[in-house]
Amino acid sequence: MGKSLLVVESPTKVKTIKKYLGTDFIVMASMGHVMDLPKKSLGIDIRNNFEPTYDVIETRKKTVADIKAAAASVENIYLAPDPDREGEAIAWHIANAIGKKGKGAYRVLFNDLTKKTILASIAKPLKLDYDKYEAQQTRRILDRLVGYQISPVLWDKVQKGLSAGRVQSVAVRIVVDREREILNFKPEEYWNMLAQFEGPNPPPFGAKLFKINGMKAKIGNAAEAEALAATITQCPGFLVDNVEKKEAKRSAPPPFTTSKLQQEAARWLKYPAKKTMMIAQKLYEGIELGPEGSVGLITYMRTDSVRTAEDALDAVRKYIKDNYAPENLPAKANEFKVSAKAQDGHEAIRPTSMSHKPQDIKKYLADEQYLLYRLIWDRFVASQMTQAVFDQTIIDIAGANCIFRANGQVPKFPGFTVLYTEGVDEKDKDDDDSGTKSLPDICKGDSVKLLKLDKKQKFTQPPPRFTEASLVRELEDKGIGRPSTYASILSTIQERTYVELDKGKFRPTGLGNTVTDMLVQCFPTVLDLEFTADMESKLDAIEDGKKKRVETLQEFYAVFKGELDKVGGSRSTPAVPVDAVCDLCGKPMAVRTSKHGPFLGCTGYPECKGIKRITIADGNGGSNGNNNTAHGANENVPAVPVDAVCDLCGKPMAVRAGKYGPFLGCTGYPECKGIKRISNDQGDAAPKKPPVLSKEVCDLCGKPMAVRTSKHGPFLGCTGYPECKSIKKISKGKKN
């Protein structure tokens, strides 16, 4: 006896920690979660206060057995999974598995994997945090209730194998809603006037029309632009109406939170959120730095706090003093306001030591590790540097009852920008911005000469599609998810093919549109952004000990069950009938959707399985040459009006297709741009590819055998299936 056991999550941490603790400690890794709700059942006793049932994960049974064996031979047990809710749940599950049931095992939190932090944490261990564990349990139970009970509705209404998530489905809705804003956006024409003036002193400068007759300039069409241009060019003279000069300051940004790291890595390095977090995890757990061994280079990477420890502030200020001009170091450390929503349990993301300069350890890092580490380093150092200062000048030019405005901004003192500037999301920039870096020395009342006048037709632009960076920011701003979940949310909604990245921008797929429509219709509250954000706040309250798990679950389930009951047995969505009849039975055909795309299926299904392929019209009423067809269909059907009318003009609708899936478009296009979504049902009605017949016949019934496949490989099955279930092995080398 006498040795201590320390359990962490990742095996990578074991090597880093072992070298600091020596032979008195056994250090083991749990490999993540060791227990979870059962895979093949709900695992929640709804009638008994939502009591969960946890099973040891199959792939963790040996790990748990090894930890139990080690625990039996030591005096002290320290549980050191990550310092967040998921880590707390792992700690509780390990304690329960080794028979401690939350007692007799100490909890230690490592905000970074440095010797100082590790030894200090073990010297002052904590009790397991029951409230934090309860918050994690609540989140896990909520997600299971939603996923387990909504997914079957998706199978019936849309397509087998689909799944829904409490938070992920809301994220998809955000993307879908933005896409519809774009589709429904009606651009408005406007015109800009750009003038080039010359004053008493060089250089000539550009100015943009700002006001007309004292009102904000607004030119709506070419005729107005022509008339105004004529008036301006005929004006005998222009005078400087006002000159305003002022000093503007920009403060240094705070060190990284998880979301800000993901956003900046996406902007500067083009890293997806998932990749950013994988690299950051490795930097946190430890990198081999030659003779120094494994070293944790950054603090814990899942945080929404901008707080920095005092000793880290002292170290970075000394670094700035030793490496930059004196004017780059403020008189006292910069302070940053921590958001009211932030879980301030640990620090912002920063380097663990100012002695590990990026350029000094570059040879030990993979390129992507180096780039992310340097980004974190630069942001942290810049956060404690002085403000950037700019000289701003505004010049107003008057003439022809108009005011033209020129803006200029010249850097006066770079401050923190010598090291770091924040990235910006891609936006549709207005190329008419008349801001210049240098404006002439000019005074109020000076006469200026009009050298040139340009008219530019413009149209208002729809909101931009989300990038990874802007979607993370949107989730954070709306209170959807938490730092530890942003990367998995973005990854999951892409893996489920509900959204896709097109040139770095998120677009919903046809499946994403269909699923979102169905979920919003059937579960409006669960898919509501404010409701989801409020649930995140309640989870925070549970962690803070201000709210109880059972109470929160009861409140949620009362709403959820009400919506679930309304769906009830109504598990079919009416198909969209079209002006076509089945060749087999003469009944009307209807638009159906399968994983292979839209097709026409007989309304007499399942008695009649007649189908036809759809030739989908493009936005101009023709064929787009990219037909989504049902496999096995043997006939082309031209686009035909369906039994639905446009809500805008009353004309018939027709099946059309865009990049994001099939939809109903008004036959009055392009004069009318009315659209509707296509309801989806009978997802399994799409025909499969015909079986490949072999020369073999069934020994039981004499029918031909066909090549089939299973998880064990190809085999021969009777074409009389399911009446006849005869099968044969396929001999190697035998040709059928």
CATH code (residue 451) = 2.70.20.10
Do both 123 and 9 map to the same domain?
yes
**Phi/psi at 51 (nearest 5 deg)?**
-70, 125
Do both 247 and 392 map to the same domain?
yes
Total length of the chain: 736
HEC string of 104-136 equals: CCEECCCCCCCHHHHHHHHHCCECCCHHHHHHH
> Of the candidates 382, 401, 430, which is a domain's last residue?
382
In the set 300, 486, 605, 669, the catalytic residue is 300
| pLDDT attached to residue 735 | 42
628 inside domain: yes
The C-alpha atoms of residue 251 and residue 263 are separated, in whole angstroms, by 19
Do both 67 and 38 map to the same domain?
yes
> Tell me: the pLDDT tens digits for 420-442?
999 887 654 444 454 556 799 99
Do both 271 and 375 map to the same domain?
yes
HEC string of 501-561 equals: EECCEEEECHHHHHHHHHHHHHCCCCCCHHHHHHHHHHHHHHHCCCCCHHHHHHHHHHHHH
What tokens appear for 636 in the block? Answer: 């082309």
Do both 499 and 557 map to the same domain?
yes
Q: What is the domain range of residue 528?
A: 151-184+465-567
Nearest Cα to 127, choosing from 91, 154, 94, 181?
91
Active site residue 370: no
Between 310-323 and 367-382, two packed helices, what is the crossing angle to 10 degrees? 90
144 inside domain: no
600 inside domain: yes
Do both 235 and 308 map to the same domain?
no
Do both 541 and 430 map to the same domain?
no
139 inside domain: no
Do both 537 and 483 map to the same domain?
yes
Q: Who's near 31: CB < 8 A, 6+ residues apart?
A: 9, 10, 11, 59, 60, 63
| pLDDT attached to residue 667 | 80
Peptide bond into 524 cis (omega under 30): no
C-alpha separations of 140 from 135, 162, 478, 618, 621 in Å: 9, 19, 21, 44, 48
Q: Which parts of the chain have pLDDT scores under 70? A: 1-2, 101-103, 340-345, 426-437, 568-579, 593-598, 614-644, 647, 656-663, 677-693, 695, 710-713, 731-736
CATH value at residue 63: 3.40.50.140
483 inside domain: yes
Supply the Cα-derived Rg of the chain in whole angstroms.
33
Q: Which residues pair with 678 in a beta bridge?
A: none
CATH value at residue 521: 1.10.460.10
Do both 364 and 274 map to the same domain?
yes
CATH value at residue 315: 1.10.290.10
Do both 667 and 590 map to the same domain?
yes
The C-alpha atoms of residue 595 and residue 633 are separated, in whole angstroms, by 14
> Of the candidates 415, 441, 459, which is a domain's last residue?
459
104 inside domain: yes
| pLDDT attached to residue 659 | 52
Nearest Cα to 629, choosing from 639, 611, 614, 618?
614
| pLDDT attached to residue 714 | 74
| pLDDT attached to residue 639 | 41
Do both 484 and 552 map to the same domain?
yes
The C-alpha atoms of residue 298 and residue 379 are separated, in whole angstroms, by 13
Number of domains in the chain: 6
> Of the candidates 364, 382, 400, which is a domain's last residue?
382
| pLDDT attached to residue 276 | 97
134 inside domain: no
Do both 707 and 652 map to the same domain?
no
136 inside domain: no
| pLDDT attached to residue 513 | 92
At residue 378's C-alpha, the angle toward residues 486 and 84, to 5°, is 35
**Phi/psi at 589 (nearest 5 deg)?**
-95, 160
